[in-house]
Structure 1
């Protein structure tokens, strides 16, 4: 098997003509042929081959034209000067050869980046195969996501002269099963990495620009091509239909989404000059190999024809021109509300702004834009208002949607919601219906608003990700039903964000957020082309003010080892926030002052509570008779004892001890000052359990209420002091 494995890779080819870009091309030849003609592939693997020499393995160095690449691949025994890099004769050696021309330093930097990234991944426990796959996923353009597999192999990669040399031990090939998928994964990873480097090199050859521009533009080209090539190959190998025009459009959009500012014009210059030559070179290379591979070459000619008929180069240029040209002359000011959960908030990004800062930069280049919302996160120098609420569910957003839309009056809403429904397994099957109701609610509030609804990003946790996949599969239908009815709602797919782009298994990292920004930007371009963007309503700007609704905070206090009947909430220090009180059976009281949400936990799931110890020693009565209410208009809650009796039955009279605040002699708060005020209410002839205190007329003094426990009917006595 090991000899056959090397033998199947025995052919060597040099890419030909013009700006031959990709190491991809030879790899495509072998891979597509085997994928499209499985019978031939299996026959070749099964052939009786006594050794590599019988299959004309050769590592002879051939000239490589500037801007092109060559590939030497086969068994280590035939690798000549590269033999020393392998441990055994049957190890697989693949050398990707480049001609750097006058860009030697830059090319070697690109090669070194791939080597360093691979070694770092391996140091973190990944194999060579997993590292190459992960690098493709990090650069995903969202065309095709390859299903996971169990194929694994290790090896090494290093730079030798102007070549990248990969070595895979024969044992790893045998363990992975050559015919069972090793060759697919190896060549796909090899092709994607080499394609990215070669694409960046071609970009540098074509453009005459500063180092900063070359870094930005050619980096975007290389990353896009690496991801795009990897996904195209995986689609072919999984025998999925290829839509060349869609692939070209997605590739161009990904490149455009990765650049900003003046770099966009240079990107357009590159694709305008190089895309046609690039695609023609793919066609010519595939046809050349087809003529030399006989029956193996039939699929190559077919793919070449698909690329010819698909107008791929035109689609790439069109997508880049659309992406970097943006809205053109835009007279409509954008008032954008990012709406959602912690991903909208920006959790996982180093800036704290998530996708919002990147998107704002692109939009702000082309016209007036502002973000609106009651929340704020991200750099102080950036406009980072939003409605991203960590931990919120779809239903939670629905609870404030009417209020925030009325308050801030956006003309664009960017909705990414459902992650917590899936992560917390909250009725995931009902989530699409809840999303549909939320969409209807938003559009009912303002039929003119442009609503972009995105699929949600994946999760690294298998159970959560399975629920996300089902939810995402339903979202297009939910959106399309409203769109078909004439509503201004559009789907934005976040397919380009993969699990390789996650910071913590649930939230994107910086690259993932950049991909989200590119997807939302592309959705806005489509909305603009449809003529949906209208000026924001409400005059000169949002009215501001508090957002109405109920904001879920989760568990804000973990408890203090007492039953709930012992707990009261009242503002005892007059700061406007209710504090946590534990009233004991003997009427003594411990307190924890409310410090508000923990800034390290923006979801509010961990509030700050400052212990004060025992603030009241009790008055010789049962704790069930104790209430706290501000009776004197000082904003601090006073200690109130209802009635007299055995603790179960007591009358409705009330005695009070006025809150004097912290005892200055006891700064720790363990002994507060309470001034006896005597009996302030003689009762109203009912059981004391009926009595409550609340400020009904906003004068700062709690009023006396008799609430019927059977039907809730309430009698009131206003507190006039």
Structure 2
């Protein structure tokens, strides 16, 4: 009888059911990192994509814990689909740039730059590890505040800032405490906000150039910088595409060769009227994108996995009682 129980347990675990490491043990710890989009500016509930993402995780039967040194939104804390308060920990800093000025993510995370190399002593990551909150996955989206309407296509400062940040993250992920941590880096969304009806053609040209710079950052600089890091960092990192302007808004004729005067900012479908932050609908799209990315790296148990594990545990307990 004992032999049969052992075979049952081994078969349940090894049948290729897609059982994630978090299906039955510790909760999946998630660290969201970025700027005001991570904090949730533009959403009616103030939690941005984090609220719908937590609901998606609940629906998938994932035991999760959001970690971070920041907290928000405040009172009243939004409730999840199961009527419990959402988890508010995060690492989002409104207005933050990658690594420029006093409000930089590089600084907020506790990094320093000395002799062309990052210094990673006493960082947010050290604090989390010391508190037993080492994340299993980091969701990073940063760079929106580094791009504005412009007449210049020179984005070398943004390029170097990203390199510095990735080098700092690379150093952190090489810490044994972060040996199993995965990093998801999202491309940033375009910023059509300045294209209001009545704006001058010169101003609209600046917005177009600014968005072209974002595209270069997303599609060339970001993947090349990730590829330039260590093999271990590359293996831990996945770059994901967030919906861009063509998908976030409707009737953006001025970005596809049409008459810019016919399009008003009110046509923005998935974004706040400021044309920079998503609205609730846009944040729902972002949540679905993050959820899909987390699933793609094997951290979401397949449907039924939790039920099978529970059934197996109950069966083993039942047989144990019969033996006694």
Task: Please give the TM-score of this superposition, normalised by the length of structure 2.
Answer: 0.57
Q: 1:529 to 1:340 in 2, by over 3 A?
A: closer
**1:442-501, Cα deviation, whole Å (9 max, x unpaired):** 231133221110000111132432322221122223234447554401101103652442
Q: Give the Å deviation of 1:424.
A: 7.6
Q: 1:326 to 1:491 in 2, by over 3 A?
A: farther
C-alpha separation between the residues in 2 aligned to 1:338 and 1:473? Answer: 22
For structure 2, list consecutive stretches of 5 or more residues without a partner in the other structure.
1-17, 78-84, 111-122, 129-133, 195-206, 250-267, 302-324
C-alpha separation between the residues in 2 aligned to 1:326 and 1:389? Answer: 35
Q: Is the 8 A contact 1:354 1:510 kept in 2?
A: yes
For structure 1, list consecutive stretches of 5 or more residues without a partner in the other structure.
1-324, 532-721
Q: Provide the residue aligned with 1:333 in structure 2.
A: 27
Q: Is the 8 A contact 2:109 2:124 kept in 1?
A: yes
Q: Provide the residue aligned with 1:430 in structure 2.
A: 157
Q: Give the Å deviation of 1:339.
A: 0.6
How many residue pairs match? The answer is 207
Larger Rg: 1
**1:577-656 pair list within 5 angstroms:** none
Secondary structure in structure 1 of the residue aligned to 2:55: helix
Q: Give the Å deviation of 1:329.
A: 7.0
C-alpha separation between the residues in 1 aligned to 2:109 and 2:235? Answer: 18
* Residue 126 of structure 2 is aligned to residue 406 of structure 1: yes
Q: Is the 8 A contact 2:170 2:229 kept in 1?
A: no
Q: Provide the residue aligned with 1:476 in structure 2.
A: 223
* Residue 150 of structure 2 is aligned to residue 446 of structure 1: no
Secondary structure in structure 2 of the residue aligned to 1:414: strand
**1:655-714, Cα deviation, whole Å (9 max, x unpaired):** xxxxxxxxxxxxxxxxxxxxxxxxxxxxxxxxxxxxxxxxxxxxxxxxxxxxxxxxxxxx
Q: Provide the residue aligned with 2:290 in structure 1.
A: 520
Q: 1:489 to 1:327 in 2, by over 3 A?
A: same
C-alpha separation between the residues in 1 aligned to 2:67 and 2:299? Answer: 24
Q: Give the Å deviation of 1:529.
A: 6.7
Q: Give the Å deviation of 1:432.
A: 3.0
**1:563-616, Cα deviation, whole Å (9 max, x unpaired):** xxxxxxxxxxxxxxxxxxxxxxxxxxxxxxxxxxxxxxxxxxxxxxxxxxxxxx
C-alpha separation between the residues in 2 aligned to 1:329 and 1:343? Answer: 27
Bigger relative contact order (CA 8 A; separation at least 6): 2
Q: Give the Å deviation of 1:373.
A: 1.8
Q: Is the 8 A contact 1:338 1:414 kept in 2?
A: yes
C-alpha separation between the residues in 2 aligned to 1:432 and 1:422? Answer: 11
Q: Give the Å deviation of 1:376.
A: 2.1
Secondary structure in structure 1 of the residue aligned to 2:95: coil
C-alpha separation between the residues in 2 aligned to 1:490 and 1:483? Answer: 14
**1:623-669, Cα deviation, whole Å (9 max, x unpaired):** xxxxxxxxxxxxxxxxxxxxxxxxxxxxxxxxxxxxxxxxxxxxxxx
Q: Is the 8 A contact 2:22 2:28 kept in 1?
A: no
C-alpha separation between the residues in 1 aligned to 2:187 and 2:163? Answer: 13
Q: Provide the residue aligned with 2:97 in structure 1.
A: 393
C-alpha separation between the residues in 2 aligned to 1:414 and 1:506? Answer: 19
C-alpha separation between the residues in 2 aligned to 1:453 and 1:517? Answer: 14
Q: Is the 8 A contact 1:429 1:471 kept in 2?
A: no
Q: Give the Å deviation of 1:328.
A: 9.6
**1:237-276 pair list within 5 angstroms:** none
